[in-house]
Amino acid sequence: MASGNNDHKSGIIADTAYRQYEKRLSKEVANYPAPKHVAIIMDGNRRFAKELGLGASEGHKEGRNKLEELLNWVMEAGVKILTVYAFSSENQTRNEEEIDELMKLFEESFYKAAEDERVHKHHVRIRALGMIDILPENVREAITYAEEKTKDYDSYYLNLAVAYSGREEIIQAIRNIATQVKDGKITPAEIDEDMFSKYLYTKEFPDPDLILRTSGEVRVSNFLLWQLAYSELYFVDVYWPGFRKIDFLRAIRSYQQRSRRYGK
């Protein structure tokens, strides 16, 4: 009985310490400008589930729940644009059962996001980035619904990279520019970085200030290859569903402590 009481007390002390640390981090972060655009590679859903003896679909559901939680943290920190890597084009090689579950989850998530009261209260515009035309019709319909419901909002932006490939994005941009040149609408001399950026999925947004990846992997995995040229990179050794608010705040603090010279 005494052991149970001690465990309970230890848990209370740990929770209190965590909350105090979170408050301190929040205050530190609030003292400096927040990054305008944060991009996140949400990695580790399946490994998180495996360690708990759960199936991959359960891990993906926990990952979706974490993204919903993250939206609160982002707005509290003053970050205006959030871009998350939800599903790469390479992910389509996974087993059929897992892909089917993911597509159902995407459909559900876009409809849910479109009805989220926070989205409408804070005027969050939802966008899907990627090769949307290769997704199942039910997922495309859900994406259209969410985008239409939020198309007039401009206070915050939530971009979900779905069926996304950084290399394919660049190739598509090259093809479109080549067509414009062939049709005589632009000349090769007019092509520069600014013009090229206007042919990318992210043409409406500034490049990410901070790119964060979970799960302990230290690579960008074909994500925003053009856009990350001068982004600050941050890697955290925790699976995405286990990502905590203090992990997010530490990433923001790390960004704020860096000197961004853009190659100068």
Active site residue 91: yes
Asked about 43 being catalytic, the answer comes back as yes
Q: Where are the beta strands (DSSP E) in 108-260?
A: 124-129, 156-164, 210-213, 232-235
* Token duo for residue 235: 């890697």
**Locate tokens 């209260």: which residue?**
121
The residue from 6, 43, 65, 116 that is catalytic is: 43
Closest-CA residue to 45 (of 83, 89, 84):
84
Among 23, 70, 21, 36, residue whose Cα is nearest residue 255: 36
Distance (Å, whole) CA 118 – CA 126: 12
- Active-site residue among 7, 15, 72, 91? 91
**Residue 260, phi-psi category: left (phi > 0), alpha (psi -120 to 50), beta (remainder):** beta
Active centre residues (catalytic)? 43, 91
